[in-house]
Structure 1
Amino acid sequence: MARVRSQTRRQGAFNPGKITLGNTTLDVEAAEVQAGNTISLSPKEARLLRYFMKNAGKSLDENSVFRHLGEEGETEDQDEVWLYVNYLKRKLASVQSDLTVEGQRGGPYRLVHGGVNTYGSH
């Protein structure tokens, strides 16, 4: 029983239902992000934001972001990374998040915390 409880705790730690950073909460299961208000995310946007939030402040190259964007067996064009990063920037700004994604096409990308996010100012 102790092993089962331990395994359950570990799974919760590695795959939390909600992740909070700054004023922003990502509900992984519902694929919603909330700060000043709430907005729905596509499954890819939710996976991408989860990856960024777990690696906040770290410089992430385009290949690592690309691997976390798609699902197993799915073929993507790496240009989609830039597209989804921009979708995420806009959605973070729309909920008045104090998080934003920095970076240019081709990476590296970095989720930063601080200040009110206004799309296009970072």
Structure 2
Amino acid sequence: MRILLAEDEIALSRAYATALEMQGYEVKQAFDGERALELANSEIFDMIILDIMMPKRSGLEVLKELRASGNTTYVIMLTAMSEVDDKISGLDMGADEYLTKPILLKELVARIRSLERRIDTSFNENVLTFGSVKLNVAEQELSAKNSIILAGKETKLMEVLMKNKNKKLSTEYIYNHVWSKDDECDAGYVWIYISYLKQKLKAINANIEIMGEENREFELVEV
């Protein structure tokens, strides 16, 4: 699981990052809001932790821009006890969770574990759209000028690509987010299923395309 940690207090941020990395999470740090927004727009994260009070751009400003751009990454806001109005504003802007500072490291890890389980089992959006294409996740239907029914793994793969449109996803990232540890296959299956989806996008006359080469990065773009 990749986490973007945006906290301007460097010592505190490093303490949080170390605690999370010891639990097996991959953590990328940002020490101001501008850098946090840049990373969130250019890289893939499963969770973003945003401090409200940061230089250059506040956590609320970053959150507002992320949601306006269609970024649906799970966001935890860090707030001081006195920032009640900011907490309400953040919830209105699309924050998923709040943690009130000061935060014990054990509490932070425990809360993220709990949130991670909730993210893994949360109800997905029924319909995703990009360009002329719609993906009905529940019905496993991909449609544009025509429509086609996808297999289970094809649906999950298309869902991951559409939720991260215009971003480069590594083969490893896709494999870890589509296939489970119980699946008897390796990362080579990513290219096989990418090939299936390429054919099906052509079949429905889609104006989006999956760019990339075997064992490298893939990106869903509008053409």
Using the size of structure 1 for normalisation, the TM-score is 0.79
Question: Residues 5-20 of structure 1 correspond to what in structure 2 (within 5 A)?
Answer: 15-20=124-129
Displacement of 1:107 in angstroms is 1.5
3-state secondary structure, aligned to 2:221:
strand
Q: Which residue of 2 aligns with 1:105?
A: 214
Q: Structure 1 residues 39 and 52, CA, compared in 2 at 3 Å: closer, same or farther?
A: same
Percent sequence identity is 30
Provide structure 2 residue ranges, at least 5 long, that are not aligned to the other structure. 1-90, 97-118
1:63 aligns with 2:172: yes
Counterpart of 1:94 (choices 203, 211, 223) is 203
RMSD (CA atoms): 2.2
Which of structures 1 and 2 has the bigger CA Rg? 2
1:30 aligns with 2:136: no
Displacement of 1:78 in angstroms is 1.3
- Could you list the structure 1 runs, at least 4 aligned residues long, displaced by more than 6 angstroms after superposition: none
3-state secondary structure, aligned to 1:109:
strand
Higher relative contact order (CA 8 A, sep 6+): 1
In the alignment, the residues of structure 1 paired with residue 191 and residue 161 of structure 2 have an alpha-carbon distance, to the nearest angstrom, of 14
In the alignment, the residues of structure 1 paired with residue 184 and residue 208 of structure 2 have an alpha-carbon distance, to the nearest angstrom, of 29
Q: How many residues align?
A: 106
Q: Structure 1 residues 57 and 89, CA, compared in 2 at 3 Å: closer, same or farther?
A: same
Residues 93-122 of structure 1 deviation map (CA, whole Å, 9 limit, x = unaligned): 1000111100001120000112xxxxxxxx
In the alignment, the residues of structure 2 paired with residue 112 and residue 66 of structure 1 have an alpha-carbon distance, to the nearest angstrom, of 20
Counterpart of 1:41 (choices 141, 146, 150) is 150
3-state secondary structure, aligned to 2:217:
coil
Q: Which amino acid aligns with 2:220?
A: L
1:75 aligns with 2:184: yes
Q: Which amino acid aligns with 1:111?
A: L
Q: Which residue of 1 aligns with 2:73?
A: none
Q: Which residue of 2 aligns with 1:120?
A: none
In the alignment, the residues of structure 2 paired with residue 110 and residue 44 of structure 1 have an alpha-carbon distance, to the nearest angstrom, of 18
